[in-house]
Amino acid sequence: MLDLSKIKAITLDLDDTLWPILPTIERCERLLHTWLQEQAPATALLLTDPHVRRELRETTAQQWPDLAHDLASLRREAIRLALQRAGDAPALAEPAFAVFHAARMQVDLFEDARPGLASLAQRYPILALSNGSADVHQVGIGEYFKGSVSARDAGVSKPDARIFQLAAQTLGVAVCDVLHVGDDAMMDVVGALNAGMQTVWVNRADHLWSQPQHPHATVASMTELCDLLEVPAS
């Protein structure tokens, strides 16, 4: 059971917690493909094959194991590898990734996300805690956050306890005084539990729980989270 009296700060996942990630990535890939068709057509053609795309991701991960926590850099290097294989200029990887990254910041927030953030931010300091590359300021919700910690910042990704510990340190509170909120059972809930945080699972799609450890509470929206934390609507 959630102990509200212990909560001094909140860490909050982003992708699939505040916005759906799949349509965002699909839009990024469409815009990247359009750019490649104009600037590197051989690479664009190569990447139409899903088996090639998967193999490029796997090869890049093997070649750059030290970037396992840095999804943005891995994607940039996968683009570079595709350019090399297709005979296009590898230097195009930088502007190509810039196209993808800019699109990555164009998200469609869940309807309850902004009102929920506004309410929570009046009572708690909130820190974004994500394995992804989204920037809350570029997304347009930075005003509700005291800061952010990404896997790239931490050098490790969720569910590693060290990223949660760094988040608590950044907030200036003990790990046990932080509530972590996120959608992923393993990355968010189990990771935060193992680090010593209380947890709330955001289950928007009515998934079945799959882990032996359990969250302190489950909600289906940011509205329900505010109700759970007894935070009045803004």
User: pLDDT tens digits for 101-133?
Assistant: 999 999 999 999 999 999 999 999 999 999 999
How many structural domains comprise the chain? 2
Residue 145's alpha-carbon distances to 123, 134, 141, 187, in angstroms, are 12, 13, 8, 21
Note whether 47 and 140 are same-domain residues: no
Q: Could you give the C-alpha distances from 60 to 33, 65, 93, 123, in angstroms and in order?
A: 19, 8, 14, 43
Domain boundary among 82, 104, 126: 104
Q: Is 164 helix (H, G, I), strand (E, B) or coil?
A: helix
pLDDT tens per residue, range 158-196: 999 999 999 999 999 999 999 999 999 999 999 999 999
Confidence of residue 232 (pLDDT cuts 50, 70, 90): confident
Instruction: List, in sequence order, the alpha helices (H) in 87-221.
Output: 93-104, 113-121, 136-139, 151-154, 161-171, 191-195
Contacts of 200 (CB under 8 A, 6+ apart): 2, 179, 180, 181, 215, 216, 217, 218, 219, 225, 228
Distance CA 116, CA 221 (A): 9
Q: In terms of domains, do 218 and 121 share one?
A: yes
pLDDT value for 55: 96
Residue 151: predicted pLDDT: 95
Query: pLDDT at position 68, please?
Result: 87
Asked if residue 3 has pLDDT above 90, the reply is: yes
Q: 54 and 9 in one domain? A: no
Residues 196 and 81 in one domain: no
pLDDT tens digits, one per residue of 62-109 = 999 998 899 999 999 999 999 999 999 999 999 999 999 999 999 999
Range of the domain at 50: 22-104
Residue 213 has pLDDT above 90, yes or no: yes
- Are 215 and 201 spatial neighbours (Cβ–Cβ below 8 Å)? yes
CATH number at residue 65: 1.20.120.1600
pTM: 0.92
Assess whether 192 and 213 both reside in one domain.
Answer: yes
* Residues 41, 147 within the same domain: no
